Every structure is written in C-alpha cells, then in structure tokens.
Structure 1
Amino acid sequence: MTSSHWGAFEVDVEGGRIVATRPFSEDPHPSRIPDILPAAVHHHTRVARPSVRRGWLETRRGGGRGSDEFVELPWDEALDMAAQEIDRVRRTHGNEAIFGGSYGWGSAGRFHHAQSQVHRFLNSIGGYVASAGSYSTGCAQAIMPHVLGCNFLTFLYEYQDGWPTIHDNTETLVMFGGINAKNAQVSMGGVTEHETTGWFERFAAKDMRCINVGPQRGDAPEGCEWLPVRPGSDTALMLALAHVLEDEGLNDHAFLARCTVGFERFRPYLMGESDGTPKSPEWAAPICGVAPEAIRELARRMAATRTFITLAWSLQRAEHGEQPYWMSAVLAAMLGQVGLPGGGVGYGYGAIGGVGKSLKRVRGMTLPQLQNPIETVIPVARIGDMLRHPGEPYDFNGRRGPYPDIRLIYWAGGNPYHHHQDLNALQEAWQRPETIIVNEPWWTATAKRADIVFPATTPYEREDIGRTNLDDYLFHMPQLVPPVGEARDDYAIFAGLAERLGAGPTFTEGRDAEEWIAGLYDDYRANAAREGVEVPDLETLKERNWVRLPVREDGPNRRYLAPFREDPEGARLGTPSGRIEIFSEAIDGFGYDDCPGHPVWLPPSEWLGAAGAEAPLHLVSPQPGDKLHSQLESALADVEGARPETLVIHPEDAAARGVATGDLLRVFNARGACRARALVSEGIHRGVVALPTGAWFGDPGTNIDPDGNPNVLTRDMGTSRLGQGCSAHTALVEVARLSA
C-alpha cells in the first residue's frame, strides 16, 4: 500500500516492476488514476541517464532548446558540469540571477518533495529568486487578505465549514463554477477517502437546493440545477443579485453596520447613482445570459434560506479574477449570513479533495528550506514576462519593482510547459537564460527544453512518509521498485551538487535520506502529542503501513468568522479596519484602474461579449479527469483513442461548423493551434468550448500542437496589477474540422 495525490492504493510488483494497482478498501469512491501507473513508471519516456543538450555542451549558449539532441554523460561528469555552471553564474552575476521557482505538485511524500529539496539546495549556496502564489489560486491569494484579513490558504483549509456542517445547515448551495468530483479526486499530499460524491448524494436526499452557476453542466454532480452563464460574467451576475437585495429591502443592513466597512462607498455604484447604470437584473441579463426573473428568483431564495455561496478556483484564473472573489464576499455579507453554520461564502470546494474536510491541524514532516537571503520574488504566473523583460518595472499588490535578470533556471518537481499560458511565447522567452537545469523522471516538454537533465526517481522508487493536514490518514510509503535506469533521488542529486559547491554539510547536516525521514517523523510525533493526537512510532507505522489519525472535527467551524460575527470588536479580522472590507482604502490607494477600491464589473479583453469572426468561441480549460495536471501523461498518450484530447462543443456551434462527435478538429487563434477530438454535448453553454489541460506540449517546429494542449491558445497576462495571477480562462478561439 502506498499513497499519492490521487489517493491510496495497493500495488503488485513482479520482477522489480509495478504490474498492477488496486483501490484502497477504505475509500468509498476511489480514483481510477492509478490504473495507468504501471505503464507510466516503466515508460520508454523515462530519463535513463544524466543528459546534456549538445548545443549547450559545445557553446554554453541557450538557443536551440527543444530542437537539439542530448548527450548522455556519467553522473560525476554531469554533476561536475552543473556545479561549475551554477558557481560561474553566482560568482559572475550573483544569486539573484538564479531562478528556482520550480512550481509544481511534486511528491505526496513529505521528505522527497522536489520543491522543498531544490529550495533548500539553492538556499544552501546563497539563495535564489523565488515565486509567490500558485497558478491555481495566485489571484485569490492576493485579493482575499484585503477583504477577509487572513492568508487565503489558511482560510481555505482551516476556517471554512466542513461537509457535515453544510449538510446539517445549508438550505441553498449556490456554486459559482460548480463543485466537481473529478477535480476533488486529487489533493495536495493525498486524499484517502474521496467523499465529495457521497456528500452530494446526502444533499439530494435531504432536498438541499444545489445550483451550479457556470458554463458546463458537468461541473456539479448529477441532480444539481444548472444555471448556464457565460465565462467571465460571474461578477455581473453577483452584482445583479446584490442589486435585488438592496432594491427589495432584503439586504441585512444591521450585519453590514456591525461587521463590514465601505458599503456606503459601494452602494452608489451598485444602484447606478455614481455612473448612471444600475446593476440590475436587466443590466446583467445580456452580459451573463441569465433572464432577469431568474436572477430575481435566485436572489429572493438566497435571502429567504440559509445560503452558502461557493466559488471554484477557476473563476479567479481569468482577467479581473479578483472581482468575483471580492464580490462573492460582499454578496454574502449583504445576506448577513457570514459566520453562521452552513452560511456565508467558501472557496475551492471540489477544487481538491481536502477542502471540506474539517481536521485538527498537526504541524510537522516538512523539510526545512533554510533562509533565502535573496529578497526578490515574482508572482508565479509572470515567469514569461520576467524572462522577456529583465530590469523592467511591474506592479504587484501595492509594490513596484523591476524583473530580475535571470541567467540560470533550476527546475525540479514541475512542468511549466503544462501550467503556463501562451506556450509558443514561453518557448521563445525560454531561450534567453544562459543555462537551464532540470531534475525529471520523464522526457517532458520542460526536460526537452533544458540544457542539463538529471534523471529523478518517482515516489515508487524511494521510501517516504505520506501525510497532509488535508487528510486524516498517515502512510509509510515503502520503496516498491528499484530506481528506473540510473535515476537518483532529488536529495542525492542536490547533495552531490552541494558537496561540489562547498555547501555539503549545510545541505545534508550529515544525514542520509533515511535519517532525515526518521528525524522529521519524530518531530511530527512530538507535535502531535502536544495536540493530544497519538501517532505510532516509525517502526510500528512501517509494520502497519497506514493508520487513520483521530483528527476529525465535524462540528461547525469556530476558528475565524463565527467568533468575529458574535463579537466584531473582540475578534477583529486581520484587515486594517478589523472588518470585512467592501471598500478597501489600501487597494484604492494603489491607484489600479484594473482593480479599484470596491468590486466592479470589468469586461475581459477576450470573452463572448467581444468575440469576432476570427475567434468567436470562448475557451475554458478545466482540469483533466484521467490524471493530475500532466502527470502520467506519457502512458495515457499511448492509450488508443485517448489523444488528441477531447473538446466539448455545443450542438449549435458544432452544426455551424459541420462538426460531429469523434471528428478531428483544429482549435486555433492568433497565438497558436492544436488538434482535438470533438464531443458534441448539450451540457455546455452555447459559444463555449472546453478542452482539458494536461497533454504534453509538442516539439518545436510544428504548426499545430498534436495532442491538444490548450495552453498554446491561452493568453499570458496577469489578472490585474493587484493579483498578477494566471488568466487562462480569458481566451477566444475558432474550431474547424481536420481531415484524419
């Protein structure tokens, strides 16, 4: 038995190879992602030996990445070469010329977590330029502390109601962007019991009204009502709902007076007194595609019942993504139910399996990353701009500074050619650094575009401990098979480099991997004991393989908003006012026209309201259902009929283009083109197409991405100057049939 981001599973091993997997018996709705694991671990795309790009080997220059061949070298020679290059860059240009963002999910195991490993190594040799936030929630991480006064991820994982509280108290569940069990099959560090589907079955049994507000019917479980809306228009719909509350006397002004600031600054905009445009249902209807009476009926229902508003992460992955997140908190405050069990607003339910599980947090089992003396940090989704515009100033959440001049990139545990936008533009910018080094198990698009590639082990080729504060299970993850080829653990790779750079003792502290795991585990046990949680010793855990920890907390959440509601002065929020900020003096002071001092409707630059003949369809790019992001894609691409990826299109849009289910398509815009396979469905809004992420980006030189990576089509721009987040869902495309 072992653990992974998509859950626990049993493994059959024969002759040093994984041959089969079986679901964990305690999981009510296990993911089928592990089915492809045996083929992926032993796939022919594994990096077998240390490899150096021939052009870089001969010239030490960056041009030609992605189209060059690689030369395999012995480990010592490759490590010597990498260490010499790292040392040259830091001595010539300083450590601020090294980027170690290494964004990605990495391993479910706590010690062999690639990002922690690479960051510890780079800090041991003088530091690096880091990245802030995530592609999933970077925009929300910037805006929500201004509104609710706490770290967004802390709110997400520790301050929101769990599924039992929602079940027992909520009467109306309004899900902007839906709650998708497909996405909830994965979670950072693992999700052992997949519960989302089961909870919605229980919601249906008690006649909870569950309303999926979004462009796809399938973004919520069967039995939920579907209110189709245009992508990018959620803020307009929320404003119209708020207008009904104020116009019909349904607004809770007593709650607003006690627990918020700034409604008097927001109301003139809402009612049209400041700009001559009331944000009424009649105003919103042509923007979002929802009839005025449907908006009024929903607003009245929300005011008359215990209502919980949820937002998918996808809403803030768009231009002006700050606005629906901010406006959802304002709408919840106007209803006056913030802090009540099963009422108010919540974020990310269904985005990952850990949201909705109320658990006691036990800290520990995290590899210390040491202190980074380099203070420069860029927003994670702005790597393309950083490479294109070194030295140029940019704005981010109230500060202004120049992009660093990066000469060397070290990437481990991620694939930017999966999660970044406008990959053709990234590929051009990627040629600029002098050297790119990658630790990678497979020949991903990122590995193919590196200069030095070290073969890294997968979680099944090393020992580790699986745990997360988003799950109540603890696993010993044994080494199941020997390393494939000459693969080494990230820890061994970085220990070898650190030794060559004179930082060996700083990085390893004289411990091997087994000793680190034992030490981290002992610290975790001690922290658990202080919290009253009994954890077995390491040898017992190894014998038992897994334990379920007594950390469930299924009652109403009393950590943040409930105490604040009861005593706004005694339990002040972390905002400057101590209250929910409908108007933010801080944001207003930044002077950003793309994110003013209160929520507003700002039409995206690419959406159906601005679509033209060249690109008339709005592209959304949801998470795939058959894997986590791009992980295991090498083996999935071998499955007959699985590639190119499937594009969902409305029947009317398909008919206008002569497209039928199963047809091979060209999906394109001015940024690029990719192939896809058509699926005609009534379950998507007219004018919208959906193409999942995760297909590996093709090799350079092709005029069409072969397997269907939507990020050849998406736009690389920040959500606003405040959040500078990923804006993947702001993209217009056209679709045409291709001959087979």
Structure 2
Amino acid sequence: MSEEKPTDRSTEAEAAFSPHTSHWGVFSARMRGGDLELRPFPGDPDPNGILWNFPGALRHPARIARPMIRKGWLENGPGPDDRRGCDDFVPVSWDKALDLLGAELARIRDGFGAQAIFGGSYGWASAGRFHHAQSQIHRFLNTACGGYVRSVGSYSAGASQILIPHVVGDHEGLTSRNVSWDQIAAHSEIVLAFGGMALKNAMVAGGSVSRHVERGAMRRAAERGCRFVLVGPLRSDLPDEAGAEWLSCIPGSDTALMLALVHTLVVEGLHDRAFLDSHTHGWPVFERYLLGGADGQPKSAEWAAGITGIAARNIVGLARRLHGRRALIVVSHSLQRARHGEQPVWMGMVLAAALGQIGLPGCGYGYGLGAIASYGRRCNAVPIPAFPQGRNGVSDFIPVARIADMLLSPGAPYRFNGETRTYPHVRLVYWAGGNPFHHHQDLNRLRRAFARLDTLVVHELAWTATARHADVVLPCTMTLEREDIGAASNDPLLVPMHPVVPPHGEARDDHAIFADLAQRLGAREAFTEGRSVRQWLEHLYEPTRAGLAAKGMSAPSFAEFWASEGILMPQQPDDGGYLRAFRDDPAANPLPTPTGRLQIWSDTIAGFGEPDCPGHPAWLGQPYATDDAAPLVLVANQPRTRLHSQLDFGGHSLASKHRGREVAAMNPADAAPRGISEGDIIRLFNDRGACLAGATLTDGVRPGVVQLATGAWYDPADPAGEKPLCVHGNPNVLTRDIGSSALAQGCTGQLTTIEVERFDAALPPIRAFDPPVPSSRRPGSGSVGRDG
C-alpha cells in the first residue's frame, strides 16, 4: 500500500523495526518506501495470519479522517430518529464537534442524571493497556459525568460467567489457572472436546500474546498417544495435528449426550462414587433425575441417540473409553451462546466429576480451553499495567447482551441472577472500542432500538455500521499510530508499543479526545491528573517494575524498558490452581460455593424458581425449533481471518471472501436439492432477515447445518427498509435477540434456524467499506460501490 513517510522521522529511523503488539500477536513494524512491513515475534512458534490485515487497513478509504455529525442531529438537535443508519454526515472541526458534544453531555447529565448515559464500549479495543478504550471512556464518564449505566458479563461467556460462581467457584480461575496446554501435552490420555478447540479462536487473546502454543501442544499430546474426540457439527473445530475422532452431533444436543455418558457410567458401575461423595453436593438428587426417577425418562444412550444423531452403541462405547483413563472434558464457549446455554457448562462439570479426575494434571474439567489464547497458560506473578477507571456513581447495570431490550423497553422488569431488575431509561449511548453491529443479535431490531435514543456517540477509526448509525463520530487512531504498553495477565512478555506512522487525517487518540471533552465539562484535571501520555505510561509501568524488584529480579527503569524489545515477567507455577488444591484437601481448600463443594445441585439456583434453569443440569429441549420455513441450523461462529469484525477491510480478511462476500459452508447433501453449487451466491433467510454469502460445499459440515462466520460488516442494500438484505454476509441479521435463560441472560447468537436458496438476481454492490456519501451521490448518481 502507498503511504507518505512520517514527517517526524529520519530515513534512518524509518528503516528500523519498532516493537508493537496486538490481540493476535506480538510483532515489529516499519514504514519503508511507503509500505508497512511486519515481522512476527521470532519467539512465536505459530504466528497468526491476522497480522497481515494491518498493511491494507492502515490507510484504507474506510478510515475516518475528521469529525462528522449526522445531518439530522445537527439540524434538528437530539432526539429519536429513524434516519440513523441512512442519513448524511457533515464534516466539522474538532472544536465544533467537542463543543456540541460537551453541551449534549451536560444537558443529559444535568437534566436526567448520569443514569441516563450508557457507557457501552463493549469490545476488544486495543492490546495496549493505556489506550484501552473501555478504560478511557469509563474513566471519562466517571470523572466528568458522575458515572454511567454499565454492562456486565460478555457476549463470549455470558451464561457461564453467571453460572460458574454458583456451581464451581471462580470463573477466571477455572478458565485461566486450571488445566494447561503443557499438562495436556504431558499427561492427558483422552480429551473429549464438546464444541472443539478451534485454533482460529485460540489465536487471539484478551491482551497481548507472544507465543501461540495450542497447535504444538495438541500435536505433542497426539504423538504421545493421547486421543482427541471432537463432538460438534463442524470437523474443523479441532486441528489436523490433534488427529481427532469426529462425533458429528446435532447442534445444541451436547447436554443430552453428556447425560447419556454419565447414565452409562452409573448403570455400569464405572462412576467414581468416592469422589462424588467427598467433593460434590447434590449427587443423589441428580442421580434420581438421571435414572428417570424424577420424570420417568432414564437419560440413557438410547434416549440420547434420537436427540444427538449419534448411535447409542457409540455413546456407550465412548463412556467406557473415558473410564479409567486420564480424561479431560472440555466445553467450549460456543455451547453456552445458545438458549439454555447454562446447561452444557454445568453438565460438563458433572461428567468430569463422575469420572473423578477434576484437579488432576491434564484431567478433569477444562471449560473454555482453546476459546482464546489467554486460557490454558500460566498467570504472571507481578501486576501488569492497568489504567484506573475511577468510581462509578451509578449503580445500575444491564447484562451486556440486553442492550436492545433496555432501549426498546425502558422501565420494563426483567430477571437476572435471581433478581427482578428494571431497565433504566437511557437517552445517550457513548461507544468507544466496540462494534455492536457485529456482536449483537437481530440487527434489524438493534437498528430500531438505536433509533429511540436522543444521541449516539461513537469513537471509531473506520466507518463501521455502528459509526454509520451514530450522531457524533469522532475519528480515533489505530494502534500503530500511538505509543502504549502491551501486556496480558497470562503472557510473560511486556511490550513497549512504539508508534510506526502518524495519525490518519485528523484522528486523535481516545485519551486526547476525552481530555479536551473533559475540559468542556470542568473535569480535565480530574481526568488527566496533569499527566501526558508518556507520563501515564511511566506511571502505569511502575507497579510492574516494583513487583519485579520485590522478587529480587531485574527491574529495568521505564527508559530501559522503552528502549528494549520487551521484558519477560515471572509467572506463577503450573499447579492446577484452586481445583487442584480442592481435590487434594477439600476441607482445607473449600471452593467458593455455598457448600464449599462442586454443586451438582444448587439450592440457590433452585430457589430462584426459573423454569429455564432448574436446580441441577437438565435436558430442556433443543435451543431452537426447525420448521418447513427454516429447516436448517445456522452455526454463526467466530472467523479465522480477523478478530470478530476488526479490520474486516484488511487484506487477510478480504482474501477469505468470495466475490467480496463472506463464505457460508454447507454439506453437499443440503446443497443438491436446492440447486446450489460450489461458488454460487446464496441467500440465507428467516423471519428476522436475510443476507447474501458465497457458498462452499464440504462434508466437514454436518447435513442439516450451515456455517457462516460472524464479523462481515453489516451492509444493508436498503438501509431505510424494514428488513434490509445484508449483501455482505453478516449472520446477525438472522440470529435471535433473546437471553440464554432468566438466570444469566447471556447471548444466544451461536445457533438459529434458516432456509437457503441460490441467489439468481443481479448482485447488489458491496458498500460496507465505502465512506458515507451525500444522498445526491448514492446509487444512480455515481456512488463507488463494488458489485463483487
């Protein structure tokens, strides 16, 4: 790509590689001859190709160059407006944009209180710890507005984050300090992976990641003789290196299969009764349900065969193979991103408990293992930098996936974690570092929800669909355009992130934007504490330096750290965490649960009285209902060429598309009767919406299933339409916006039902990455869309 040389660097400086990092890998970069050159971290055994989205994205036309105000909001003032998402934008100066926004924030704060402001900003943002967008915006809202309505939980693990504290204890400890990849490579004999451990998921982390170790660990385990068994509708959810056996099951049926495995163990006397007696609570109640005493239906292999699509003899055989071996039960995040998503997470623990191996090296229960690169690794033994957010003066919150419910139904009651709560009346949403038009479900419903607001403010580096729906759009820098410190709690390398290029256009970093905005609200000093960016970096580095010194280790000064390629931090031992200690001595090391044990039965959850989440794990039926109009199950999983929707316009992501559109995979047995061939453009649809995608045919997808990755930028052919066709392939026009249960209200975007047909009409142009243009230049007047 072409790019002007930075004006503040010499030719010699330009030729040097600068250290940097991202959620998908540590690297170094330089500009040379107008091109961005990258080098993956030399210590990474399996570098991530997502790095190669940077060169094409750096100065892409989708980048936002200056502040923009939506025309309707500028002319008519704040208020609900159905034109969001299809209105014109007016460029303005930074002073005007910040003056207008400062006045609007003051109007909301002073007239309705801070509880009328939602500080959304859910998303991965940057691997840098200072320019972490969520921390910046939350600190700003706390210091300048008195607080904000926040969200709790995540779209990735919304159901498990609420359930696990009730039944196992610490969610973070279960995922991040339990069974490690080193343990699997050395000890595991059989790994039963419900939903798999796809490398595309483990290639990214919730911070920096210096070494991608998952592929190598599975290869070493398989070479030693460990057997991997994948349960799921997609064969690609374990890598070739694992040499996995694939049990192709009907999506959403995992809980039924787990129940049948435990049933087989029990009726054949293969379960570990001593472990169940000493380390669990409520087994007798659950066993009665399992054997049919509670409802007259034994949860046998024969019963599960019709639900799962797996033959009863194979279920029985698998249960027998698990007995007496070092067995690890893995349950992926994907299983709980569905209706009744709490059940497979809970039931996976019960299966592992029945085998009696929870807490042993490489054995037991590995919830979420492989979901991100942060899991299955050792934790750092010194603190990493963290930007302080201050105190939030607003106590109200919502589960993260219930934002459309909140905006559409202010004042309405809802159930969450045993409480009846009320949705606040939010009038202004401020978003920085996220893209709800990627991660939310039923996007047409979300469009209607955003139309109810007085004001939507977005900081963005590019014209995402969220930015297109905003009233105030403030251009922010890309990570390569600013300095920071890269770190993660489960990665030992602390990285000085040097800027590689100047900011694009008039873009500013979030901290500079909030500092100037805070000044207009009389809070600049409270927000900045009088520090420059470099002074903040030095301040945030100090706890890490002091932690190193306290351990008698080399503790470089900030100047020494900044001049280095990065420094290694000490890590905690790979000791199995709190579950190992609990196994070894449950009396001395009780779990943080009501009984101090693994809760197979939870009096607390039972006491909530939620029909969709009873007091023990149970089969509550398929999380979707197929019918003649929507006979196929859509699996909307994570993409392999980008992190969620980030840098979808980068070269690595674009190369994975077909005729510019996202690719949907389906089995030839489903394609043939629909007249669909390899490479056709297809229309996926249901009663919520429709999208176009390129078709690829493979026997690696179970018959009756279609797989379409999330993250293609929402691109409606008719933005003002009731249910516009997304021509780019965003599956969230099809997914359901309902909670996993009244317990957790987690996201249910993994599975839905659809129909598919070949699209034979003229192909609509793709405009997802084109900047908004005035209405006079839209179709018929020289717009710049591509036709694929």
Q: TM-score range by the shorter chain?
A: over 0.9
Equivalent of 1:388, from 381, 384, 408?
408
* Change beyond 3 A, Cα 1:332–1:605: closer
Equivalent of 2:112, from 93, 116, 140?
93
Which consecutive unaligned segments of at least 5 residues does structure 2 have? 1-18, 764-788
Letter of the 1:96 counterpart: Q
Alignment check: 8 A CA contact 1:460 1:479 kept = yes
Aligned to 2:423: 403
Equivalent of 2:620, from 591, 597, 602?
602
Alignment check: 8 A CA contact 2:255 2:343 kept = yes
Equivalent of 1:53, from 62, 70, 80?
70
Question: Are residues 1:72 and 2:72 paired?
Answer: no
Aligned to 2:627: 612
Q: Matched residue of 1:256: which SS?
A: helix
Aligned to 1:131: 151
Alignment check: 8 A CA contact 2:418 2:605 kept = yes
Cα distance in 2 between the residues matched to 1:250 and 1:695: 47
* Change beyond 3 A, Cα 1:18–1:522: farther
Alignment check: 8 A CA contact 2:130 2:485 kept = yes
Q: Matched residue of 2:42: which SS?
A: coil
Question: Are residues 1:632 and 2:653 paired?
Answer: no
Letter of the 2:205 counterpart: S
Q: Matched residue of 2:366: which SS?
A: strand
Q: C-alpha deviations, 1:34-60, integer Å up to 9, x for none?
A: 212111111111111111001001112
Alignment check: 8 A CA contact 2:188 2:221 kept = no
Give the drift of 1:371.
Answer: 0.5
Q: C-alpha deviations, 1:241-277, integer Å up to 9, x for none?
A: 0101111111111111111110111111100011010
Q: C-alpha deviations, 1:158-177, integer Å up to 9, x for none?
A: 2x121111222211100000
Question: Are residues 1:322 and 2:342 paired?
Answer: yes
Alignment check: 8 A CA contact 1:535 1:549 kept = no
Give the drift of 1:531.
Answer: 4.7
Alignment check: 8 A CA contact 2:382 2:570 kept = no
Letter of the 1:575 counterpart: T
Question: Are residues 1:120 and 2:139 paired?
Answer: yes
Cα distance in 2 between the residues matched to 1:620 and 1:396: 26
Cα distance in 2 between the residues matched to 1:528 and 1:324: 41
Cα distance in 2 between the residues matched to 1:242 and 1:113: 44
Alignment check: 8 A CA contact 1:121 1:494 kept = yes
Alignment check: 8 A CA contact 2:430 2:458 kept = yes
Alignment check: 8 A CA contact 1:643 1:708 kept = no
Letter of the 2:195 counterpart: G
Question: Are residues 1:738 and 2:759 paired?
Answer: yes
Question: Are residues 1:365 and 2:368 paired?
Answer: no
Q: Matched residue of 1:641: which SS?
A: coil
Aligned to 2:123: 104
Alignment check: 8 A CA contact 2:632 2:753 kept = yes
Equivalent of 1:199, from 181, 193, 217?
217
Q: C-alpha deviations, 1:517-546, integer Å up to 9, x for none?
A: 110001221133335554422211222222
* Change beyond 3 A, Cα 1:531–1:399: farther
Aligned to 2:20: 2
Give the drift of 1:363.
Answer: 1.8
Q: Matched residue of 2:404: which SS?
A: helix
Question: Are residues 1:662 and 2:682 paired?
Answer: no
Letter of the 1:195 counterpart: V
Matches within 5 A, 1:541-560: 541-551=561-571, 553=573, 555-557=574-576, 559-560=577-578
Question: Are residues 1:671 and 2:671 paired?
Answer: no
Letter of the 1:7 counterpart: G
Give the drift of 1:641.
Answer: 3.5
Cα distance in 2 between the residues matched to 1:397 and 1:611: 29
Give the drift of 1:19.
Answer: 2.2
Give the drift of 1:562.
Answer: 1.5
Letter of the 1:292 counterpart: A
Cα distance in 1 between the residues matched to 2:49 and 2:254: 33
Cα distance in 2 between the residues matched to 1:312 and 1:532: 39
Identity %: 49
In the superposition, the TM-score normalised over structure 1's length comes to 0.97
Cα distance in 1 between the residues matched to 2:59 and 2:413: 46
Aligned to 1:251: 271
Aligned to 2:637: 622
In the superposition, the TM-score normalised over structure 2's length comes to 0.91
Matches within 5 A, 1:96-245: 96-124=115-143, 125-150=145-170, 152-158=171-177, 160-222=178-240, 223-245=243-265
Give the drift of 1:605.
Answer: 4.7
Cα distance in 2 between the residues matched to 1:437 and 1:2: 29
Aligned to 1:262: 282
Give the drift of 1:156.
Answer: 1.1
Cα distance in 2 between the residues matched to 1:99 and 1:216: 38
Q: Matched residue of 1:472: which SS?
A: strand
Alignment check: 8 A CA contact 1:173 1:307 kept = yes
Cα distance in 2 between the residues matched to 1:114 and 1:285: 48
Aligned to 1:521: 541
Cα distance in 2 between the residues matched to 1:78 and 1:480: 28
Letter of the 1:164 counterpart: D
Letter of the 1:650 counterpart: N
Give the drift of 1:585.
Answer: 0.3
* Change beyond 3 A, Cα 1:534–1:359: farther
Aligned to 1:430: 450
Q: Matched residue of 1:89: which SS?
A: helix
Letter of the 1:571 counterpart: N
Give the drift of 1:359.
Answer: 3.1
Give the drift of 1:611.
Answer: 1.5
Aligned to 1:42: 59
Give the drift of 1:444.
Answer: 0.5
Q: Matched residue of 1:11: which SS?
A: strand
Cα distance in 1 between the residues matched to 2:448 and 2:518: 31
Q: Matched residue of 1:544: which SS?
A: coil
Q: C-alpha deviations, 1:619-667, integer Å up to 9, x for none?
A: 0111111110111112357657363111010110011211111110000
Letter of the 2:746 counterpart: G
Cα distance in 1 between the residues matched to 2:588 and 2:552: 28
Aligned to 1:19: 36
Alignment check: 8 A CA contact 2:381 2:569 kept = no
Cα distance in 2 between the residues matched to 1:377 and 1:565: 36
Alignment check: 8 A CA contact 2:380 2:490 kept = no
Q: Matched residue of 1:304: which SS?
A: coil
Aligned to 1:470: 490
Letter of the 1:710 counterpart: P
Cα distance in 1 between the residues matched to 2:572 and 2:216: 17
Aligned to 1:488: 508
Alignment check: 8 A CA contact 1:647 1:689 kept = yes
My pick for the range that moved more, 230-239 or 53-62, is: 53-62
My pick for the range that moved more, 585-594 or 638-647, is: 638-647
* Change beyond 3 A, Cα 1:532–1:245: farther
Give the drift of 1:220.
Answer: 0.2
Letter of the 2:579 counterpart: L
Q: Matched residue of 2:106: which SS?
A: helix
Letter of the 2:25 counterpart: G
Cα distance in 1 between the residues matched to 2:454 and 2:447: 14
Which consecutive unaligned segments of at least 5 residues does structure 1 have? none
Cα distance in 2 between the residues matched to 1:716 and 1:379: 13
Q: Matched residue of 2:345: which SS?
A: helix
Cα distance in 1 between the residues matched to 2:388 and 2:217: 37
Cα distance in 2 between the residues matched to 1:605 and 1:346: 23
Cα distance in 1 between the residues matched to 2:400 and 2:659: 31
